[in-house]
Amino acid sequence: MNNGGPFLIAGELTSDGHLLAQRVYYEDTDFSGLVYHARYLHFLERGRTDYLRCLGVEQRELLSADEEGLVFVVHRMEIDFKGPARMDDVLTIRTLTEKAGGAKMVLAQEIRRGDLLLIAAKVIIAVINAKGRPRRLPEALARQMLVASEQVG
Q: What residues are labeled active site?
A: 30
Helix, strand, coil shares of the chain, percent, nearest 5, are 25, 40, 35
How far lies 14's CA from each of 17, 20, 39, 103, 147, in Å?
5, 10, 25, 27, 12
What does the alpha-carbon distance between residue 145 and residue 127 come to, in Å, rounded to a whole number?
A: 14
Sign of the four-CA dihedral 108, 46, 102, 15: negative
What does the alpha-carbon distance between residue 81 and residue 79 come to, in Å, rounded to a whole number?
A: 6
What does the alpha-carbon distance between residue 68 and residue 58 come to, in Å, rounded to a whole number?
A: 16
With residue 18 as reference, give the H or E element that holds it. Answer: strand 17-23
